[in-house]
Structure 1
Amino acid sequence: MKNRITSLIWIVLAVIAGLPAYAADTNVVSGKLPNGLTYYIYRNESPAGRADFFLSRGVGSIVEREDERGLAHFLEHLAFNGTKHFPGNSLIGWLESIGVKFGENLNAFTSVDQTVYNICKVPTARESALDSCLLILRDWSSDITLADKDIDAERGVIKGEWRHRNSASNRLLQRAAPRIYGSSLYGQRLPMGLMSVVETFPPQRLRDFYNRNYTPDTEAIIVVGDIDVKKMEKKIRKMFGNIKKAKTPVVADRHVETGMPFMAVAEADPEQTTEMVQLFFKHPAVDGLSQEQEARAELVSSLLTAMLVERFDRLELQPDAPATNIGVGDTRFLISEPMRTLLVRGAVRKGNAPKAVAAFYTEIKRARDFGFSAAEFDDARKQLAEDIATTLDKNRDRSNTVIARSLSKAFLNGETLKTPQEEHDLRVSQLDSITVDEVVAYLRSIVNTDGTDVLVLLYTNYADAAGEKGEQALKDAFFSVNALTLEPYNPEEAPVELKLKEPAPGKVVSVEENGPFGTFVVTLSNGLKAYLRPNKEKPGQIYFRGVGMGGLSQDYSEADAGSLKLLNEAVAASGVGEMTNSDLRRFTQGKELKVSAMVSNTEETIEFSASPATLEDAFRLAYLKVTDIRRDDKAYAALMASKENSLANRRLNPVQTMGDSITCNVYSHHPLGGQPTAEMLASVDYDTMLRIYRDRFADFADFRFYVAGDFDTDSVKMMLERYVASLPVGGRIEKPRDIGYRFSPSKDVKFSRTMETPVAVVYQFRHTPAEYNLQNVICASAVGQLLKARLLADLREKRGWTYGITTHGAITAGMNGDDPSEFMLPVYVKVDPDHYAETAQIIDATLADMAAGNITPQELDKVKEYMLKSVADSRKDNAYWLVVLRQYDKTGLDMDSSYESCVASLSPQTVSAFLGRVLAGAQTLRLTMTPNQE
């Protein structure tokens, strides 16, 4: 194929490409050791006493040979199963002893082009903990054990992950990729690899792969957090400097063909629930740009996609819209970093794929031929400017993990590092000089009307839509657009404004300055009360929530169940005041401003997140949301079309079938308990939903309000006077009604399904009344964590039957009327079909063993350490305080002040006794799905 490098009028290629990303950000200490290893160290004091450790490697599955397919990912697994200084599972065990939990704070991923390991939220008080984390990174770099027994034991785990991830969409990509990528290895190197290789490769082959590809010149060590940078640099240079330099550089064939003729690929899978069309306009990524060029290119791309998104959103609102859930982006092409693509995708009804392709290309070609209006461009540029400002505010308080991932990305992509302020200033300096002609020139450079580098990809469950006949129909649909006489786009020119007839304000009548948890308790003239908790831990972040009692239970009838079930989605698709839903989206685009209203079975809630700059708009929108919801028939119709499309074939997917079965059975087949069904949509009524919603927010007499974050107290008081003290209060005090919404009694349900990838799912759900108090909440959480750790050790590490375990223990508030709170313990395991019965027995036996007093101090200490570390981190989060304040205000329970002492007092005997009590009276629902025996 002829290679073609896109030439853009706004790009002047830099002379030097592909150099390592040395830090321009002066907060970063970086360097390269003689053996080629790169390191980055960044001091970040928020949160205090925490650090993240990353090992990033620019090597992924692309370097595999044909008989090694899957070994890059396999090697990533083995890094946790034995290294020189941490044999067996001691690496995971030691990290969990300091509160670093496997799967949450300790993880890794392998992609086609990279492998990244991370150890996050490490306590830094002990110097020895920092040394040990560096030693782990050093072992991962060059001293993974790779013992025969560990390799053989992990084959089953990898097979379990394959079963877990081998969904219809992944199978479709596996079949399509070789055709899409042609001679490029990207079509043959998906990270999961081939099970025929995974199950049979000799152990020495993995060791050879490790020694050949895990070399220091491909690696970066990244440490971010509350650390002494100079001391850390000395440690890194000493610990990693003696790793031998690679004799032969790792060579990865990353070529992707360009200049390819039009291609349509249509693949069918019987479990694909949604017919999905994707239209790609491929263009090579351009390396070697200066910082200014790179920033400008990204801004041009962002402006283009913003204007296209607006057009396609309006297309989706048309009565005969060809697709739902339309998305637009200028991003990486599928799995290959060297190739980018302008992408339009959407879900279509059966047989409508060609129509959608024609509609997508029509709008792209219209923009290519006629460009964009000044109003469209000004709107997009304004939104982007707001987004740039918002990003700077967010980045003033970046977490260690966000910073570490940005350093990893810079290393892997060869980017120059910049501070948030430098990034902001660079983008601002470029934005004002970009013209609409520049954006259109970029679009014209990547959209070829002759079909060059154009791909249409269809995923379907409809066999007749795939194959040569289906692909020809897609091709004909694309090229039919070239024969059309198009006209320029006629956008809505009027700018979007938030119009509100300001309500008559009330007054603050009293302020208690020493309220619970450091709050100001404000009482307003209409009798409503608000708890204000200023918090500077998250600069620029403000959370607001108002909660009233009653919920859907006040208006429940089985005939209206469909409307009640979809009410919140319909409200989210509606407008407010004089603004349509589209206006709302345009108004909030790029702003740190999200407002939502929800009605659950027992409560109604209005909430927002905002910044100090958007706080007044947030209050105004929240006021409109609860006092002047606006019917939007176009947006509602689009929502219903999307729901119909997504639900029509939901039962084709066995995993979704199991999920639906779980929710239906857990809630005793209550109409509000299960997932919405296609049949339920026939009974849904927009008028009914809006009527019920308006009634739920017609009287605020039993509401309480909570505000937490980076705000000026006097300013918030003024907002409360305007937009909360003016809310209607008529004296309606409600409590949830009994609508029969309860957990299921004990029963055993078994069923089978035809599956493309045979897998069994074992699900158990235990519940029993239990008092809601801090001791029980902590005990329940500890039970869930202990059970998960034991089941992972047994079912995954010992037996290799599964990839993962999903479980947690909790005390849930009464869900129905005056029902008491309950202990709940769900367990979900995808397992080898040959072992589902034994898996269920092992879950039962493990719980019985724990309840019998066989919990060790060592395993409980790991859980306690994690809980103590987590609550310390949570206290910096404004969302945490909204929950704590609501619980205290509603029940009088303080779930925070005694948390550490309660956790510290936990003993194995305490947890065992608690588990014994709840199991003694527990109802147990058992659901099992197995593959049909063909």
Structure 2
Amino acid sequence: MDSAVRYGKLNNGFTYYIRKNEEPKKTVELRLIVGVGRIHEDEDQLEYPHLLEHVLAGKTRNFPNVKDFFSKVGGYSSAHTGTRLTSYEARIPSQDKQVVKNGIRVLRDWAQGLIWDQEFIDVQRAAVEGEMRVYDPYRQWINETTEREVLKNTGYKIYGDDKRLENLRNFNSEAFRRYYKDWYRPDMQSAIVVGDINVDSVEHEIKRQFSELETSENPKSGRKRITSHIINLDGSNQFSTVVDTLHQELNLRLIRLRPNFEGWQKNGEDYQKMLLQQLYTTVLDKKAEQLEQQYDPPFNNFTTRYGANQIPDYQLDGSLMSVKLETDDLLTLKKDFQRALIAWKQMHLSFNQSDVEKAKTALLEKYTDAKWMKSKSLSHRYTWHFSYGKAAPHPEVEAELVSDLLSGINLEDLHEFISENGTLDKNTVYIFFKGTDVNMPDYGIYEQWIKEIDTMKIKPLAEQQTITTLTDVVDIPLLNVMDEAEIIENEIGVSTVNLTNGIKVVLKPSKPRTGSLVNTIFLQAFRPNKIPVQNRQEYLVARVAPQILQHMGAGPFNKFELDRFKREKGIQLDFRTDKDNQMIYAASKSEDLPELFNLLYLYLEDPRKDERGFDAWKSDQKLKLEGKGFRGSDYFFMERIAASWYPQIPVLKREDLQEIDVEQVDQALNKWFSSIEDFTFIVTGDFNKDTLLPLLVNVLSAFPAKNEILPAALKHINFPVKRMEKNLELKNTDQVYISLFFPVKVPRDIKTLVELQLVSKALHHRIYSRLRNGSYSPIARGEWMDFKKGIFAFRIDFDSALGNEEKMISHAMEEFRKLREIGVEKEWLETTIANEVRTYESRFDNFGYINFWPDYLQSKLQEGEDPVPGILNYGTLMEHFTTMDDINAAVKKYMKEEHFQQFLGYPEGHHQENKPLERCNIQEEKR
């Protein structure tokens, strides 16, 4: 245990961890950890731990609205239910001692302060159900089925979401009360307080408040529940077949299971095992990445952390390989199957000393990162100490131990780890997902094919050739025009330079919040999209050409070679086109900025015509159009809404993919993406302006620019300020997506912008509170639909279960109208203004993974607005010159329903069939 931690246990068994820490200053992290979770539920209590977490996170004996309390003091709260722990967390400012005392009082209420309010419980039941809906039902079914097949012979009992939902809907109040009474007791709980605090005062407060917690006369054994859920690997391999009624394909999921050594370490030996596992997965990730970097890889997907991320309770780790098997004939099927398993062996045979040393360096950097001294990270350490018994030394002590252990690990140690945990001769699960009409051989045939591989002489993967620099193939002309550049600086530290080739460069340096972002520079470039919409085919090709460019590569290098170059250099480069703009997004460390410009120049000057890359783009796009992308059909809902607003603008459809060819793409790239005139480059991040500006001016001045003047083709396409109602059909979803818009014409002065922001916050506060009972994450906000014409819209977005959408819409409209009629309360407004000003102004001088400046500057520059007033006056106007009367007047003036627009995204065919997605059947066999 970290010696800086005040660790103790009260007479009733309650545990506490207290640590003073000033990273960040003036804040406190609070946690109440209950050492119980899903493995402690009885069969009639399925999903009740999650429900109880929702209820307590929202309302307790002394805090009728927990989130409001934390918001008013300038903090926030959250909660999470896991397998063997439930965590309630909050962050608050530390300056006010009474606020800290009240924060600890919330922890006390979370421990034993449940208010039995059936109406509120019902609201939270609906909220939990909303959380259980998924963006991609098919992927969810695949993952659930995989988990069930993997665990079915391990002794670990799991329940599917269907059974959990049924138990949630048929609420059993006695079972719910029983779970709370049995498990929410002091010997199963701990308080964690880390931050800018007086340790003695906090300890006194914990003893005062938590000593009164009631104990149980006949406590249930939490340890017994844990031991009954221990996962045992018996060393056998397992085959099973699952019938997939939605796809006439044959897909293999191969999972090699192993014990998870990460998260359980108590001593040096445990740390040694953990580091071997981390070295193994780090190197294996690189090997899999090497095989994936080809147009016909031996597997569709490969992950080394399947177990830790998918299997409950972190007991197992595992690698998962997904393979699509062609079933045209037995020889083709055999070839695909054996090729995947040969690839597995090749990856493991090719581990070398250089791989190990690189992995060691990466791990040591991870353990010495300054983020581990943040109060939130420290709180997480003590959470794992309490719940899993994991050691919690000072981060510097741990880093020193890791360094010593890594220095003693060699390639032979890793080979020994592989022989025990990486071969396919044991603890391997083969799951075949087959279509109803697909024939596949008996398992004995597969076993014979595996034996054949065992007799083969397999070579390790060849060393991968990497691009060290692009200077050999890129010849950017050397210019020295810095002396001619006129630099304009404003009051907020933004510098602007107009280059002779029609490029504008705008710089705004700021400081990084984390060590990993030191010397990181971000580029965000935009210019008006002038692609004409009159010719549908030409527009579509030009719109998608930047995506295709990144699939085909540039110069002598294909996509995979350039992707590897970007990864190794830490360079990001992405091209996009939307209705209004052509965009370039890029980032790199300052020392690699010349290589970033080399890469951009290469893409512009010498794009490849790569048929295989083009075909790969079409395959990816086909999956997205079928709702099988990362976010499922939610990804396309907004695009479908935009198509309703702007029917003049062509939208890519699946059938369009057949009409686009490489020659068309090459012509579009040459016409629309071979030069950078009219681009504005916004440069932000951690840099010295005087050092960086000469590089930017001299290099960007040498980039190709055309003198051809093209019309602003989309000027005449206006946002439709009118009533609209559309039911849209989406693929691969089993829920309804709802977006409601309330467009209105407004002035564009800063005072009005302040009022609209606060009204949007007030609307979100109401919508979230009301719709959370049936939606995963309801949100309300305001956005500009057409800034130049002063068209603003309040927007409400939420998801709903099928059949419940009309009720949810009715609730949303009720809250919209209540706000318009009643307005805002003084206390809410004062708290919100204080939080808004603090949050808004805190982003000016520092950046994290969210960077305020690029989007802010672009929004002002593309509309011809001066960015200075929004920085200097916005906070002052909000804090000192905005009253409750102003906001309530704005509510009545701008919250209009005259042009109300409603968009509903339904599952494809829902209105015709009115039935849920088909379920799939399972056939199993163990070998």
TM more than 0.5:
yes
Question: Aligned partners of 1:613, 1:294: CA distance in 2, in Å?
Answer: 39
2:31 is aligned to 54
Asked if 1:337 is matched to 2:313, the reply is: yes
2:726 is aligned to 749
1:790–1:749: structure 2 CA closer, same or farther, 3 Å change rule? same
Q: Deviations over 1:537-585 (max 9, x none)?
A: 4444323224241236368841034434533433443445554433334
2:809 is aligned to 840
**Which residues of 2 match residues 617-656 of structure 1 at below 5 A?**
617-618=595-596, 620-622=598-600, 624=602, 626=604, 629=607, 634-648=612-626
**Which residues of 2 match residues 75-224 of structure 1 at below 5 A?**
75-87=52-64, 90-100=65-75, 105-120=76-91, 122-163=92-133, 167-174=137-144, 177-182=147-152, 186-189=156-159, 194-224=164-194
**Which residues of 2 match residues 484-633 of structure 1 at below 5 A?**
484=453, 485-500=456-471, 501=474, 503=476, 504-509=478-483, 515-521=490-496, 528-535=504-511, 537-539=513-515, 540-541=517-518, 542-551=520-529, 553=531, 557-576=535-554, 578-589=556-567, 592-611=570-589, 614=592, 617-618=595-596, 620-622=598-600, 624=602, 626=604, 629=607
Amino acid corresponding to residue 100 of structure 2 in structure 1: L
Amino acid corresponding to residue 858 of structure 2 in structure 1: R
> Displacement, 1:363?
1.4
**Which residues of 2 match residues 714-733 of structure 1 at below 5 A?**
714-720=690-696, 723-729=699-705
1:390–1:833: structure 2 CA closer, same or farther, 3 Å change rule? closer
Given the alignment, which residue of 882, 902, 905 partners 2:854? 882
Preserved CA contact (<8 Å) 2:368 2:399: yes
> Displacement, 1:281?
0.8
Preserved CA contact (<8 Å) 2:575 2:583: yes
Asked if 1:825 is matched to 2:794, the reply is: yes
Amino acid corresponding to residue 68 of structure 1 in structure 2: Q
Name the SS of the counterpart of 2:157 in structure 1: helix
1:658–1:424: structure 2 CA closer, same or farther, 3 Å change rule? closer
2:872 is aligned to 897
TM-score, normalised on structure 2? 0.83
Q: Deviations over 1:272-297 (max 9, x none)?
A: 89986432111123487566555554
Preserved CA contact (<8 Å) 1:54 1:118: yes
1:705 is aligned to 681
Q: Deviations over 1:718-745 (max 9, x none)?
A: 5325533433455667784317765455
> Displacement, 1:210?
1.6
> Displacement, 1:313?
3.8
Preserved CA contact (<8 Å) 1:767 1:823: yes
Asked if 1:851 is matched to 2:826, the reply is: no
Preserved CA contact (<8 Å) 2:507 2:683: yes
> Displacement, 1:193?
5.7
Question: Aligned partners of 2:467, 2:212: CA distance in 1, in Å?
Answer: 62
1:872–1:312: structure 2 CA closer, same or farther, 3 Å change rule? same
> Displacement, 1:900?
1.9
Asked if 1:679 is matched to 2:652, the reply is: no
Question: Aligned partners of 1:411, 1:590: CA distance in 2, in Å?
Answer: 39
Name the SS of the counterpart of 1:846 in structure 2: helix
1:365–1:45: structure 2 CA closer, same or farther, 3 Å change rule? same
Preserved CA contact (<8 Å) 1:577 1:630: yes
Question: Aligned partners of 1:229, 1:356: CA distance in 2, in Å?
Answer: 62
1:304 is aligned to 280
Question: Aligned partners of 1:626, 1:295: CA distance in 2, in Å?
Answer: 49
Amino acid corresponding to residue 893 of structure 1 in structure 2: P
Question: Aligned partners of 1:569, 1:275: CA distance in 2, in Å?
Answer: 30
Preserved CA contact (<8 Å) 1:83 1:144: yes
Amino acid corresponding to residue 791 of structure 2 in structure 1: E
Given the alignment, which residue of 442, 449, 452 partners 2:417? 442
Amino acid corresponding to residue 855 of structure 2 in structure 1: V
Question: Aligned partners of 2:553, 2:385: CA distance in 1, in Å?
Answer: 41
1:688–1:405: structure 2 CA closer, same or farther, 3 Å change rule? farther
Question: Aligned partners of 1:918, 1:586: CA distance in 2, in Å?
Answer: 50
1:64 is aligned to 41
Q: Unpaired runs of 5+ in structure 1? A: 1-21
Amino acid corresponding to residue 428 of structure 2 in structure 1: V
> Displacement, 1:809?
1.5
Preserved CA contact (<8 Å) 1:747 1:924: yes
1:790–1:258: structure 2 CA closer, same or farther, 3 Å change rule? same
1:767 is aligned to 743
> Displacement, 1:188?
2.2
> Displacement, 1:611?
4.1
Q: Deviations over 1:864-890 (max 9, x none)?
A: 344234314433326112333334544
1:657–1:775: structure 2 CA closer, same or farther, 3 Å change rule? same
Preserved CA contact (<8 Å) 1:552 1:599: no
1:454 is aligned to 428
1:285 is aligned to 260
Amino acid corresponding to residue 867 of structure 2 in structure 1: L
- Identical-pair percentage: 16
Preserved CA contact (<8 Å) 1:282 1:341: yes
> Displacement, 1:197?
2.7
Preserved CA contact (<8 Å) 2:154 2:233: no
1:917 is aligned to 894
1:767–1:244: structure 2 CA closer, same or farther, 3 Å change rule? same
Preserved CA contact (<8 Å) 2:719 2:786: no
Name the SS of the counterpart of 2:531 in structure 1: helix
Q: Deviations over 1:372-392 (max 9, x none)?
A: 164xx5256436625754775
Q: Deviations over 1:452-487 (max 9, x none)?
A: 311134567x3456xxx76x6677446523313242
TM-score, normalised on structure 1? 0.82
Name the SS of the counterpart of 1:332 in structure 2: helix
Name the SS of the counterpart of 1:830 in structure 2: strand
Preserved CA contact (<8 Å) 1:58 1:219: yes
Name the SS of the counterpart of 1:72 in structure 2: helix
Asked if 1:362 is matched to 2:334, the reply is: no
2:644 is aligned to 668
Question: Aligned partners of 1:429, 1:345: CA distance in 2, in Å?
Answer: 34
Question: Aligned partners of 1:727, 1:49: CA distance in 2, in Å?
Answer: 48
1:870 is aligned to 839
Q: Report which stretch shifted further, 58-67 or 688-697.
A: 688-697
Name the SS of the counterpart of 2:798 in structure 1: strand
> Displacement, 1:258?
0.9
Amino acid corresponding to residue 884 of structure 1 in structure 2: Y
Q: How many residues get paired? A: 883
> Displacement, 1:81?
4.2
Q: Report which stretch shifted further, 870-879 or 175-184.
A: 175-184
Q: Deviations over 1:827-855 (max 9, x none)?
A: 23333555433433333343233334543
Question: Aligned partners of 1:98, 1:417: CA distance in 2, in Å?
Answer: 31
> Displacement, 1:141?
1.5
